[in-house]
Amino acid sequence: MVSPGFLAGRLARTRAAGLAACAEEFRWGEVTVAAPVRGPAGTVAALGVTVPTGVPLERVTAAVRAAAGRVRPPEPSPSS
């Protein structure tokens, strides 16, 4: 990332897609995909996986989205 504007644009595209992908930005030969875990109050976490480059990205993104959609955050505890 070289400028705040570039970062803001990339974050906006990630939010719109509901998915983040990083291809060999951290480690050569690896792709990381993450999707938000949402609760009643909005996004509470992210679920991500790292796979070797060459694994079909469509399969990985579909699996990550499906898994993140199945995660249910715990209900907030009642105030004492």
24-78 confidence digits (pLDDT tens): 888 899 999 999 999 888 889 999 999 999 999 999 999 999 999 999 887 777 7
- Of 41, 33, 43, nearest to 65 by C-alpha is 33
Name the domain count of the chain: 1
The answer to whether residues 32 and 26 touch, using CB atoms and an 8 Å cutoff, is yes
In a 3-state reduction of DSSP, which class is residue 19?
coil
Residue 10 phi, psi dihedral angles, 5° rounding: -65, -40
Is 2 within the bounds of a domain? no
Is 57 within the bounds of a domain? yes
pLDDT recorded at residue 66: 96
Look up residue 1 and give its DSSP letter: -
Domain limits at 35? Answer: 18-70
Is 4 within the bounds of a domain? no
Q: Where are the beta strands (DSSP E) in 1-80?
A: 20-23, 30-39, 42-52
Structure pTM?
0.78
